[in-house]
Chain A
Protein backbone atom coordinates (compact mmCIF):
# COMPACT_ATOMS: atom_id res chain seq x y z
CA UNK A 1 0.00 0.00 0.00
CA UNK A 2 1.28 3.43 -0.98
CA UNK A 3 1.39 5.78 2.00
CA UNK A 4 -0.24 9.08 1.16
CA UNK A 5 -2.76 11.59 2.43
CA UNK A 6 -5.44 9.67 0.55
CA UNK A 7 -4.55 6.36 2.19
CA UNK A 8 -4.45 8.05 5.61
CA UNK A 9 -7.86 9.59 5.03
CA UNK A 10 -9.31 6.30 3.81
CA UNK A 11 -8.03 4.44 6.87
CA UNK A 12 -9.21 7.19 9.21
CA UNK A 13 -12.72 6.79 7.81
CA UNK A 14 -12.73 3.03 8.30
CA UNK A 15 -11.20 2.85 11.75
CA UNK A 16 -7.63 2.06 10.64
CA UNK A 17 -8.57 -1.54 9.87
CA UNK A 18 -6.86 -1.68 6.49
CA UNK A 19 -3.19 -1.20 7.45
CA UNK A 20 -1.02 -4.17 6.58
CA UNK A 21 2.44 -5.17 7.85
CA UNK A 22 5.05 -2.97 6.17
CA UNK A 23 7.15 -5.97 5.15
CA UNK A 24 6.76 -9.75 4.94
CA UNK A 25 8.28 -12.04 7.57
CA UNK A 26 10.09 -14.12 4.93
CA UNK A 27 11.38 -17.68 5.38
CA UNK A 28 14.76 -18.52 3.86
CA UNK A 29 14.82 -20.06 0.37
CA UNK A 30 17.55 -22.56 -0.55
CA UNK A 31 19.40 -20.13 -2.84
CA UNK A 32 19.67 -16.43 -3.67
CA UNK A 33 21.51 -14.31 -6.23
CA UNK A 34 22.93 -12.26 -3.35
CA UNK A 35 22.77 -12.44 0.43
CA UNK A 36 23.31 -9.45 2.71
CA UNK A 37 24.38 -10.36 6.23
CA UNK A 38 23.10 -7.85 8.75
CA UNK A 39 19.61 -6.32 8.89
CA UNK A 40 20.56 -2.87 10.09
CA UNK A 41 20.22 0.34 8.14
CA UNK A 42 23.24 -0.38 5.97
CA UNK A 43 22.22 -3.95 5.10
CA UNK A 44 18.63 -3.03 4.29
CA UNK A 45 19.73 0.00 2.26
CA UNK A 46 22.12 -2.24 0.31
CA UNK A 47 19.34 -4.68 -0.51
CA UNK A 48 17.05 -1.83 -1.53
CA UNK A 49 19.58 -0.26 -3.93
CA UNK A 50 20.58 -3.68 -5.31
CA UNK A 51 16.95 -4.19 -6.27
CA UNK A 52 16.24 -0.63 -7.37
CA UNK A 53 19.44 0.38 -9.15
CA UNK A 54 20.81 -2.94 -10.33
CA UNK A 55 17.73 -5.07 -10.91
CA UNK A 56 18.75 -7.86 -8.55
CA UNK A 57 15.56 -8.89 -6.83
CA UNK A 58 16.27 -12.46 -5.79
CA UNK A 59 18.15 -11.37 -2.69
CA UNK A 60 17.90 -11.88 1.05
CA UNK A 61 18.86 -9.86 4.12
CA UNK A 62 19.81 -12.11 7.04
CA UNK A 63 19.46 -10.66 10.54
CA UNK A 64 20.39 -12.61 13.67
CA UNK A 65 17.84 -10.75 15.81
CA UNK A 66 15.16 -8.33 14.59
CA UNK A 67 15.95 -5.64 12.04
CA UNK A 68 17.31 -2.41 13.43
CA UNK A 69 18.13 -4.00 16.80
CA UNK A 70 21.82 -3.10 16.66
CA UNK A 71 23.44 0.27 16.15
CA UNK A 72 20.67 1.49 13.82
CA UNK A 73 18.43 1.55 16.87
CA UNK A 74 20.91 3.03 19.33
CA UNK A 75 22.64 6.04 17.76
CA UNK A 76 22.29 9.81 18.17
CA UNK A 77 20.61 10.23 14.73
CA UNK A 78 22.89 12.96 13.37
CA UNK A 79 23.32 13.41 9.60
CA UNK A 80 26.03 15.63 8.10
CA UNK A 81 28.68 15.76 5.37
CA UNK A 82 31.39 17.93 6.92
CA UNK A 83 34.58 15.99 6.22
CA UNK A 84 37.95 17.24 5.06
CA UNK A 85 39.47 14.46 2.96
CA UNK A 86 38.16 14.12 -0.62
CA UNK A 87 37.78 10.32 -0.34
CA UNK A 88 35.43 10.78 2.61
CA UNK A 89 33.71 14.03 1.65
CA UNK A 90 32.35 12.89 -1.71
CA UNK A 91 30.99 9.77 -0.02
CA UNK A 92 29.26 11.58 2.85
CA UNK A 93 27.90 14.23 0.48
CA UNK A 94 26.37 11.46 -1.64
CA UNK A 95 24.73 10.31 1.57
CA UNK A 96 23.44 13.79 2.33
CA UNK A 97 21.95 14.06 -1.15
CA UNK A 98 20.23 10.71 -0.73
CA UNK A 99 18.89 11.83 2.68
CA UNK A 100 17.40 14.88 1.01
CA UNK A 101 15.29 12.75 -1.31
CA UNK A 102 14.89 9.71 0.90
CA UNK A 103 11.32 10.09 2.03
CA UNK A 104 9.94 10.56 -1.49
CA UNK A 105 12.12 7.71 -2.74
CA UNK A 106 11.05 5.27 -0.02
CA UNK A 107 7.49 6.60 0.39
CA UNK A 108 8.19 6.63 4.13
CA UNK A 109 8.44 9.40 6.68
CA UNK A 110 12.01 9.19 7.97
CA UNK A 111 11.62 12.59 9.66
CA UNK A 112 14.74 13.97 7.98
CA UNK A 113 15.23 17.38 9.55
CA UNK A 114 17.92 19.68 8.15
CA UNK A 115 18.21 21.76 11.29
CA UNK A 116 21.95 22.50 10.95
CA UNK A 117 25.06 20.98 12.49
CA UNK A 118 27.33 23.43 14.32
CA UNK A 119 30.89 22.45 15.31
CA UNK A 120 32.17 24.91 17.92
CA UNK A 121 35.78 26.11 18.05
CA UNK A 122 37.53 27.44 21.11
CA UNK A 123 40.93 28.70 19.95
CA UNK A 124 42.55 30.43 17.00
CA UNK A 125 44.26 27.26 15.79
CA UNK A 126 41.02 25.34 15.96
CA UNK A 127 39.32 28.12 13.97
CA UNK A 128 41.97 27.82 11.28
CA UNK A 129 41.53 24.06 11.17
CA UNK A 130 37.75 24.42 10.85
CA UNK A 131 38.17 27.08 8.16
CA UNK A 132 40.31 24.64 6.21
CA UNK A 133 37.72 21.90 6.59
CA UNK A 134 34.95 24.29 5.58
CA UNK A 135 36.93 25.28 2.49
CA UNK A 136 37.48 21.61 1.69
CA UNK A 137 33.74 21.06 1.88
CA UNK A 138 33.00 24.06 -0.38
CA UNK A 139 35.48 22.79 -2.96
CA UNK A 140 33.23 19.73 -3.13
CA UNK A 141 30.17 21.91 -3.58
CA UNK A 142 29.01 21.33 -0.01
CA UNK A 143 27.64 24.14 2.15
CA UNK A 144 29.79 25.37 5.03
CA UNK A 145 29.73 28.63 6.96
CA UNK A 146 32.38 29.78 9.40
CA UNK A 147 30.68 31.73 12.20
CA UNK A 148 32.37 34.08 14.62
CA UNK A 149 31.25 34.33 18.23
CA UNK A 150 28.48 36.80 17.42
CA UNK A 151 27.19 34.41 14.77
CA UNK A 152 27.00 31.54 17.26
CA UNK A 153 25.44 33.82 19.87
CA UNK A 154 22.62 34.60 17.46
CA UNK A 155 21.81 30.88 17.21
CA UNK A 156 22.43 29.73 20.79
CA UNK A 157 22.67 32.70 23.21
CA UNK A 158 22.65 30.44 26.26
CA UNK A 159 25.92 28.55 25.59
CA UNK A 160 28.76 29.17 28.06
CA UNK A 161 30.69 31.62 25.85
CA UNK A 162 32.79 33.03 28.68
CA UNK A 163 33.99 29.64 29.93
CA UNK A 164 37.34 30.40 31.57
CA UNK A 165 39.21 27.45 30.12
CA UNK A 166 37.45 26.89 26.78
CA UNK A 167 35.67 30.08 25.66
CA UNK A 168 33.50 29.64 22.57
CA UNK A 169 35.03 31.67 19.74
CA UNK A 170 32.80 30.57 16.89
CA UNK A 171 31.79 27.55 14.88
CA UNK A 172 31.61 25.79 11.55
CA UNK A 173 28.00 25.45 10.49
CA UNK A 174 26.58 23.06 7.92
CA UNK A 175 22.96 24.14 7.54
CA UNK A 176 22.04 21.08 5.44
CA UNK A 177 23.06 18.76 8.27
CA UNK A 178 20.61 17.71 10.94
CA UNK A 179 18.89 14.61 12.23
CA UNK A 180 16.69 11.77 11.00
CA UNK A 181 14.42 9.34 12.83
CA UNK A 182 16.71 6.29 13.10
CA UNK A 183 14.09 3.55 13.42
CA UNK A 184 12.03 5.01 10.59
CA UNK A 185 15.10 4.79 8.35
CA UNK A 186 15.33 1.06 9.06
CA UNK A 187 11.61 0.53 8.59
CA UNK A 188 11.49 2.67 5.46
CA UNK A 189 14.30 0.75 3.78
CA UNK A 190 12.83 -2.59 4.92
CA UNK A 191 9.43 -1.77 3.48
CA UNK A 192 10.86 -0.39 0.25
CA UNK A 193 13.17 -3.38 -0.24
CA UNK A 194 10.35 -5.81 0.55
CA UNK A 195 8.13 -4.16 -2.08
CA UNK A 196 10.85 -4.86 -4.64
CA UNK A 197 10.85 -8.54 -3.68
CA UNK A 198 13.74 -8.68 -1.20
CA UNK A 199 13.36 -11.37 1.50
CA UNK A 200 14.02 -9.97 4.98
CA UNK A 201 14.81 -12.94 7.18
CA UNK A 202 14.99 -12.28 10.92
CA UNK A 203 16.24 -14.54 13.71
CA UNK A 204 18.68 -16.02 11.22
CA UNK A 205 22.30 -15.87 12.35
CA UNK A 206 25.11 -16.69 9.94
CA UNK A 207 27.28 -19.39 11.50
CA UNK A 208 29.54 -20.23 8.57
CA UNK A 209 30.61 -19.07 5.13
CA UNK A 210 31.22 -21.87 2.59
CA UNK A 211 34.15 -21.13 0.32
CA UNK A 212 35.45 -23.39 -2.47
CA UNK A 213 38.32 -22.53 -4.77
CA UNK A 214 38.59 -19.08 -3.22
CA UNK A 215 34.98 -18.20 -4.03
CA UNK A 216 31.84 -17.96 -1.92
CA UNK A 217 29.38 -20.84 -2.41
CA UNK A 218 26.88 -20.01 0.32
CA UNK A 219 26.29 -19.31 3.99
CA UNK A 220 25.43 -21.61 6.89
CA UNK A 221 22.76 -20.14 9.13
CA UNK A 222 20.76 -21.10 12.19
CA UNK A 223 17.86 -21.58 9.75
CA UNK A 224 19.75 -23.81 7.35
CA UNK A 225 22.19 -23.54 4.45
CA UNK A 226 21.62 -20.83 1.83
CA UNK A 227 23.50 -21.06 -1.48
CA UNK A 228 24.73 -17.84 -3.04
CA UNK A 229 27.67 -16.59 -5.07
CA UNK A 230 27.56 -13.08 -3.62
CA UNK A 231 27.59 -12.38 0.11
CA UNK A 232 27.88 -8.87 1.54
CA UNK A 233 28.76 -8.31 5.18
CA UNK A 234 27.22 -5.26 6.88
CA UNK A 235 27.45 -6.31 10.51
CA UNK A 236 29.09 -3.29 12.22
CA UNK A 237 30.48 -4.27 15.62
CA UNK A 238 30.46 -7.96 14.76
CA UNK A 239 32.51 -7.52 11.57
CA UNK A 240 35.64 -9.25 12.87
CA UNK A 241 33.62 -12.18 14.16
CA UNK A 242 31.70 -12.77 10.92
CA UNK A 243 34.71 -12.12 8.66
CA UNK A 244 36.64 -14.70 10.68
CA UNK A 245 34.13 -17.27 9.37
CA UNK A 246 35.73 -16.63 5.97
CA UNK A 247 39.24 -16.73 7.40
CA UNK A 248 39.75 -12.96 7.19
CA UNK A 249 41.62 -10.90 9.78
CA UNK A 250 40.74 -7.20 9.55
CA UNK A 251 42.08 -3.77 10.57
CA UNK A 252 39.20 -3.37 13.01
CA UNK A 253 38.65 -3.33 16.77
CA UNK A 254 35.21 -3.40 18.39
CA UNK A 255 34.59 -0.73 21.02
CA UNK A 256 31.57 0.35 23.00
CA UNK A 257 30.07 3.83 22.51
CA UNK A 258 27.48 5.17 24.92
CA UNK A 259 24.61 7.52 24.19
CA UNK A 260 22.19 9.29 26.50
CA UNK A 261 18.76 10.88 26.49
CA UNK A 262 17.38 13.30 29.06
CA UNK A 263 13.82 13.71 30.27
CA UNK A 264 11.58 15.48 27.75
CA UNK A 265 11.55 19.26 27.91
CA UNK A 266 10.15 22.13 25.84
CA UNK A 267 12.11 22.99 22.66
CA UNK A 268 15.56 24.31 23.55
CA UNK A 269 18.20 22.91 21.20
CA UNK A 270 16.83 23.42 17.69
CA UNK A 271 19.93 22.19 15.84
CA UNK A 272 22.87 19.89 16.41
CA UNK A 273 25.74 21.33 18.48
CA UNK A 274 29.14 19.73 18.96
CA UNK A 275 31.67 20.83 21.56
CA UNK A 276 35.16 21.42 20.22
CA UNK A 277 37.10 21.30 23.47
CA UNK A 278 35.97 17.84 24.48
CA UNK A 279 33.93 15.27 22.67
CA UNK A 280 30.25 16.02 23.07
CA UNK A 281 27.36 16.32 20.62
CA UNK A 282 23.74 17.13 21.35
CA UNK A 283 20.39 17.54 19.65
CA UNK A 284 16.78 17.44 20.78
CA UNK A 285 14.38 14.74 19.69
CA UNK A 286 10.83 15.46 18.61
CA UNK A 287 9.63 14.03 21.93
CA UNK A 288 11.65 16.72 23.71
CA UNK A 289 14.46 14.61 25.12
CA UNK A 290 18.00 15.88 24.68
CA UNK A 291 19.98 13.21 22.84
CA UNK A 292 23.73 13.35 23.38
CA UNK A 293 26.96 11.38 23.44
CA UNK A 294 30.73 11.64 23.61
CA UNK A 295 33.75 9.40 23.33
CA UNK A 296 33.91 5.65 23.11
CA UNK A 297 34.90 3.89 26.33
CA UNK A 298 38.29 3.15 24.78
CA UNK A 299 38.84 -0.57 25.23
CA UNK A 300 37.77 -3.60 23.20
CA UNK A 301 34.21 -4.56 24.03
CA UNK A 302 31.27 -6.54 22.70
CA UNK A 303 29.17 -5.88 25.81
CA UNK A 304 26.73 -3.19 24.54
CA UNK A 305 27.08 -1.36 27.85
CA UNK A 306 29.59 1.20 29.03
CA UNK A 307 31.32 2.21 32.22
CA UNK A 308 30.84 5.07 34.67
CA UNK A 309 34.07 7.04 34.03
CA UNK A 310 32.93 7.80 30.47
CA UNK A 311 29.42 8.70 31.68
CA UNK A 312 31.04 11.25 33.99
CA UNK A 313 33.30 12.53 31.21
CA UNK A 314 30.41 13.04 28.77
CA UNK A 315 28.26 14.82 31.33
CA UNK A 316 31.17 17.05 32.36
CA UNK A 317 31.69 18.07 28.73
CA UNK A 318 27.99 18.82 28.45
CA UNK A 319 28.04 20.96 31.57
CA UNK A 320 31.06 22.90 30.33
CA UNK A 321 29.20 23.71 27.13
CA UNK A 322 25.71 24.34 28.47
CA UNK A 323 25.57 24.74 32.26
CA UNK A 324 21.76 24.68 32.17
CA UNK A 325 21.96 20.92 31.53
CA UNK A 326 22.71 20.51 35.25
CA UNK A 327 19.05 20.75 36.23
CA UNK A 328 18.04 17.96 33.89
CA UNK A 329 17.86 14.26 34.67
CA UNK A 330 19.30 11.65 32.38
CA UNK A 331 16.46 9.35 31.46
CA UNK A 332 18.29 6.54 29.71
CA UNK A 333 21.78 5.52 28.70
CA UNK A 334 22.81 2.72 26.39
CA UNK A 335 25.80 1.29 24.54
CA UNK A 336 26.45 0.05 21.03
CA UNK A 337 29.40 -1.81 19.54
CA UNK A 338 31.40 0.22 17.02
CA UNK A 339 33.58 -1.33 14.34
CA UNK A 340 36.52 1.04 14.86
CA UNK A 341 38.84 0.96 11.86
CA UNK A 342 42.56 1.64 12.12
CA UNK A 343 42.35 5.06 10.41
CA UNK A 344 38.89 6.12 11.52
CA UNK A 345 37.33 5.81 8.04
CA UNK A 346 35.03 3.12 6.64
CA UNK A 347 35.64 0.25 4.24
CA UNK A 348 33.29 -0.61 1.34
CA UNK A 349 35.14 -3.03 -0.89
CA UNK A 350 35.69 -6.49 -2.27
CA UNK A 351 37.71 -8.94 -0.16
CA UNK A 352 40.39 -11.49 -1.09
CA UNK A 353 37.55 -14.06 -1.27
CA UNK A 354 35.66 -13.94 -4.59
CA UNK A 355 32.02 -13.00 -4.08
CA UNK A 356 32.56 -11.82 -0.50
CA UNK A 357 32.09 -8.08 0.04
CA UNK A 358 32.81 -5.99 3.08
CA UNK A 359 30.99 -2.96 4.48
CA UNK A 360 32.62 -2.05 7.80
CA UNK A 361 34.78 0.28 9.84
CA UNK A 362 32.03 2.80 10.58
CA UNK A 363 33.55 3.89 13.86
CA UNK A 364 30.91 6.11 15.34
CA UNK A 365 29.71 7.72 12.15
CA UNK A 366 27.65 4.93 10.67
CA UNK A 367 24.15 6.35 10.89
CA UNK A 368 24.63 9.40 8.63
CA UNK A 369 26.30 7.12 6.06
CA UNK A 370 23.35 4.72 5.80
CA UNK A 371 21.98 5.75 2.36
CA UNK A 372 25.35 6.13 0.60
CA UNK A 373 26.72 3.05 2.30
CA UNK A 374 23.87 0.99 0.87
CA UNK A 375 24.11 2.74 -2.50
CA UNK A 376 27.88 2.19 -2.86
CA UNK A 377 27.85 -1.31 -1.41
CA UNK A 378 25.07 -2.31 -3.82
CA UNK A 379 27.14 -0.99 -6.73
CA UNK A 380 30.26 -2.80 -5.49
CA UNK A 381 28.36 -6.09 -5.14
CA UNK A 382 26.41 -5.85 -8.40
CA UNK A 383 29.36 -4.76 -10.59
CA UNK A 384 32.05 -6.55 -8.59
CA UNK A 385 33.90 -3.22 -8.53
CA UNK A 386 33.68 -0.10 -6.38
CA UNK A 387 31.95 3.06 -7.60
CA UNK A 388 34.09 6.21 -7.85
CA UNK A 389 32.33 7.50 -4.73
CA UNK A 390 33.64 4.66 -2.54
CA UNK A 391 36.82 4.10 -4.51
CA UNK A 392 39.05 5.30 -1.66
CA UNK A 393 37.22 3.32 1.03
CA UNK A 394 39.40 0.34 0.19
CA UNK A 395 40.31 -2.62 2.37
CA UNK A 396 43.88 -2.69 1.03
CA UNK A 397 44.64 0.95 1.91
CA UNK A 398 46.21 -0.22 5.15
CA UNK A 399 48.73 -2.23 3.14
CA UNK A 400 49.34 0.39 0.43
CA UNK A 401 49.47 3.38 2.80
CA UNK A 402 46.62 5.32 1.14
CA UNK A 403 44.97 5.91 4.52
CA UNK A 404 41.99 8.19 5.20
CA UNK A 405 42.93 9.47 8.62
CA UNK A 406 40.79 12.58 9.22
CA UNK A 407 42.14 13.02 12.71
CA UNK A 408 45.76 12.05 12.08
CA UNK A 409 45.72 9.72 15.08
CA UNK A 410 47.40 6.73 13.43
CA UNK A 411 46.62 3.06 13.98
CA UNK A 412 44.91 3.64 17.32
CA UNK A 413 41.22 2.78 16.97
CA UNK A 414 40.36 4.04 20.45
CA UNK A 415 41.58 7.56 19.61
CA UNK A 416 39.60 8.09 16.39
Chain B
Protein backbone atom coordinates (compact mmCIF):
# COMPACT_ATOMS: atom_id res chain seq x y z
CA UNK B 1 0.00 0.00 0.00
CA UNK B 2 1.31 3.47 -0.91
CA UNK B 3 0.14 6.77 0.54
CA UNK B 4 0.32 10.03 -1.47
CA UNK B 5 1.78 12.46 1.07
CA UNK B 6 0.82 16.01 0.03
CA UNK B 7 4.32 17.18 0.98
CA UNK B 8 6.63 14.32 0.02
CA UNK B 9 4.77 12.55 -2.78
CA UNK B 10 3.71 8.90 -2.91
CA UNK B 11 5.54 6.76 -0.33
CA UNK B 12 5.32 3.19 0.98
CA UNK B 13 3.08 2.75 4.03
CA UNK B 14 6.04 1.57 6.15
CA UNK B 15 7.16 5.23 6.32
CA UNK B 16 3.95 6.05 8.18
CA UNK B 17 2.62 5.52 11.71
CA UNK B 18 -1.05 4.58 12.02
CA UNK B 19 -3.25 5.97 14.78
CA UNK B 20 -6.82 5.04 13.88
CA UNK B 21 -10.11 6.57 12.84
CA UNK B 22 -10.11 10.30 12.06
CA UNK B 23 -12.95 12.66 12.89
CA UNK B 24 -13.45 11.62 16.52
CA UNK B 25 -14.32 14.65 18.62
CA UNK B 26 -12.71 14.80 22.06
CA UNK B 27 -15.41 15.49 24.67
CA UNK B 28 -15.21 18.42 27.06
CA UNK B 29 -13.24 17.66 30.24
CA UNK B 30 -16.44 17.63 32.31
CA UNK B 31 -18.45 15.55 29.83
CA UNK B 32 -20.40 12.50 31.05
CA UNK B 33 -18.55 9.13 31.21
CA UNK B 34 -20.73 7.87 28.34
CA UNK B 35 -19.24 10.50 26.04
CA UNK B 36 -15.71 9.48 27.01
CA UNK B 37 -16.54 5.78 26.59
CA UNK B 38 -17.80 6.56 23.12
CA UNK B 39 -14.73 8.62 22.22
CA UNK B 40 -12.08 6.30 23.62
CA UNK B 41 -13.51 2.88 22.78
CA UNK B 42 -16.32 2.78 20.22
CA UNK B 43 -15.56 2.74 16.49
CA UNK B 44 -17.59 2.50 13.28
CA UNK B 45 -14.99 0.10 11.81
CA UNK B 46 -16.55 0.15 8.32
CA UNK B 47 -15.86 -2.30 5.51
CA UNK B 48 -15.34 0.30 2.80
CA UNK B 49 -14.48 3.98 2.88
CA UNK B 50 -12.60 4.93 6.07
CA UNK B 51 -10.97 8.21 7.09
CA UNK B 52 -7.99 7.68 9.36
CA UNK B 53 -4.99 9.42 10.88
CA UNK B 54 -1.50 8.57 9.64
CA UNK B 55 1.72 10.36 10.58
CA UNK B 56 4.51 10.52 7.99
CA UNK B 57 6.94 9.53 10.73
CA UNK B 58 9.90 8.78 8.45
CA UNK B 59 9.23 11.77 6.18
CA UNK B 60 7.85 15.22 6.85
CA UNK B 61 6.34 14.14 10.21
CA UNK B 62 3.02 15.77 9.33
CA UNK B 63 -0.24 14.19 10.51
CA UNK B 64 -2.47 13.30 7.57
CA UNK B 65 -6.10 12.33 7.15
CA UNK B 66 -6.04 9.46 4.67
CA UNK B 67 -9.28 8.24 3.13
CA UNK B 68 -8.99 4.63 2.09
CA UNK B 69 -11.09 1.60 1.17
CA UNK B 70 -10.55 -1.01 3.90
CA UNK B 71 -11.66 -3.79 1.51
CA UNK B 72 -9.11 -3.05 -1.23
CA UNK B 73 -6.55 -0.74 0.45
CA UNK B 74 -7.13 1.76 -2.41
CA UNK B 75 -6.27 5.29 -1.18
CA UNK B 76 -8.66 8.05 -2.28
CA UNK B 77 -7.03 11.07 -0.69
CA UNK B 78 -4.43 12.25 1.83
CA UNK B 79 -4.63 15.77 3.24
CA UNK B 80 -3.16 17.58 6.22
CA UNK B 81 -4.97 16.91 9.49
CA UNK B 82 -6.31 19.99 11.18
CA UNK B 83 -6.23 20.24 14.96
Provide the B1-23 mask, 1 if CB < 8 A to any CB of A, else 0: 10000000000111000101100
Q: Which residues of chain B come closer than 8 Å to A244, judged between CB atoms?
A: 44
- Tell me, rounded to whole Å, the shortest Cβ–Cβ distance linking A174 to chain B: 31
Provide the A254-270 mask, 1 if CB < 8 A to any CB of B, else 0: 10000000000000000
Q: Which residues of chain B come closer than 8 Å to A412, judged between CB atoms?
A: 20
The answer to whether A300 and B72 have CB atoms under 8 Å apart is: no
Q: Please measure, in the bound complex, the distance between the C-alpha atom of A221 and the C-alpha atom of B50, giving whole angstroms.
A: 26
The answer to whether B42 and A251 have CB atoms under 8 Å apart is: yes
Q: Residue A307 at the B interface, CB < 8 A? A: yes
The answer to whether A253 and B34 have CB atoms under 8 Å apart is: no
Task: Report if A309-B14 is in contact (Cβ < 8 Å); known contacts: A254-B70, A302-B70, A303-B71.
Answer: yes
* B52 and chain A: residue at smallest CB distance: A300
Q: Which residues of chain A come closer than 8 Å to B40, judged between CB atoms?
A: 342, 398, 411
> Number of A-B pairs whose CB atoms are under 8 Å?
68
Dominant SS among interface residues on chain B: mixed
CB within 8 Å of B: which A217-272 residues: 238, 240-241, 244, 249-254
Chain A interface category by residue count: 20 to 34
Task: Report if A253-B45 is in contact (Cβ < 8 Å); known contacts: A301-B73, A414-B20.
Answer: yes
* A309 and chain B: residue at smallest CB distance: B14
Q: Residue A299 at the B interface, CB < 8 A? A: yes
The answer to whether A251 and B70 have CB atoms under 8 Å apart is: no
Q: Residue A399 at the B interface, CB < 8 A? A: yes
Count of chain B residues with Cβ under 8 Å from any Cβ of A?
24
Q: Which residues of chain B come closer than 8 Å to A303, judged between CB atoms?
A: 70-73
Q: Residue A298 at the B interface, CB < 8 A? A: yes
The answer to whether A249 and B44 have CB atoms under 8 Å apart is: yes
Contact of B34 among A300, A399, A413 (CB under 8 A): A399
The answer to whether A240 and B44 have CB atoms under 8 Å apart is: yes
Q: Please measure, in the bound complex, the distance between the C-alpha atom of A300 and the C-alpha atom of B46, giving whole angstroms.
A: 9
Q: Which residues of chain B come closer than 8 Å to A307, judged between CB atoms?
A: 1, 13, 73
- Tell me, rounded to whole Å, the shortest Cβ–Cβ distance linking B5 to chain A: 15
Provide the A404-416 mask, 1 if CB < 8 A to any CB of B, else 0: 0000000111100
The answer to whether A398 and B71 have CB atoms under 8 Å apart is: no
The answer to whether B70 and A300 have CB atoms under 8 Å apart is: yes
Task: Report if A251-B52 is in contact (Cβ < 8 Å); known contacts: A309-B12, A399-B34, A414-B20.
Answer: no
Q: Please measure, in the bound complex, the distance between the C-alpha atom of A398 and the C-alpha atom of B43, giving whole angstroms.
A: 12
Contact of A250 among B18, B42, B47 (CB under 8 A): B42
Contact of A240 among B1, B34, B45, B72 (CB under 8 A): B45
The answer to whether B43 and A250 have CB atoms under 8 Å apart is: yes
CB within 8 Å of B: which A10-57 residues: none
- Tell me, rounded to whole Å, the shortest Cβ–Cβ distance linking A389 to chain B: 24
* B1 and chain A: residue at smallest CB distance: A307
CB within 8 Å of A: which B6-65 residues: 12-14, 18, 20-21, 33-34, 37, 40-47, 50, 52
The answer to whether B47 and A241 have CB atoms under 8 Å apart is: yes
The answer to whether B37 and A299 have CB atoms under 8 Å apart is: no
Q: Residues of A with Cβ closer than 8 Å to B?
A: 238, 240-241, 244, 249-254, 298-303, 307, 309, 342, 398-399, 411-414
A307-B73, A411-B41 provided; 7 other pairs, C-beta below 8 A? A238-B47, A249-B42, A250-B43, A301-B70, A342-B41, A399-B34, A411-B40
